[in-house]
Copies of this chain bind each other. A is one copy, B any other.
Amino acid sequence: MKEITVKKGQILQREGEMNGKVYFVKSGLLRSYSIDKKGKEHIFMFAPEDWVVSDNLPPDQPSGLFIDALEDSIVVAKEKDLARDSQMDTIKLFKRMGVLQKRIIMLMSSSAIERYEHFIETYPQIVQRVPQRMIASYLGITPEALSKVKGERIIKK
């Protein structure tokens, strides 16, 4: 049960590195991201209680994802040999899987505005601290589109 303190900006995994680790976020904020052919970043964020998993565990193949910290964080790193760790709470793992599955359905069927509304509900503390362009990337839109969305929100209020 080794807790690791991760400083803001610190990299936990580089694209192409061998992985085999799973991180449980105790505090702070992590992100994983990939870079597409056009050089664009695509971000996913992980808040406390989330699990961050490399994309191709457990074979010893390189991961296509970066993982780093957006805020000073504390994580628990688990090795892949935790299979027989009877302490591991599979209920929580299944719950998390259910959340991910439902999120995919939600993401596919909602507009940028709806996704932004959901984001500020889910991560109210984060909105101020993280650069707009990362929030935009997380929402799957451009920073310009996010500016527009925010403008329209204020008008409505």
Contacts and interface: CB of A to CB of B under 8 A. Distances in A.
Interface of A: 22, 32-34, 36, 40, 42-44, 51-58, 64-65, 80, 82-86, 88-91, 93-109, 139-140
Nearest to A83: B91
Contact of A34 (B83, B97, B105): B105
9 contacts: A53-B95, A53-B98, A54-B98, A56-B98, A58-B95, A83-B89, A84-B86, A90-B90, A107-B107
A95 B140 contact: no
Nearest to A36: B109
B102 A104 contact: no
Nearest to A80: B91
Contacts of A103: 104
B100 A97 contact: yes
Which of A32, A36, A109 has most B Cβ within 10 Å?
A109
B109 A51 contact: no
A96 B90 CA distance: 13
Contacts of A32: 101, 105
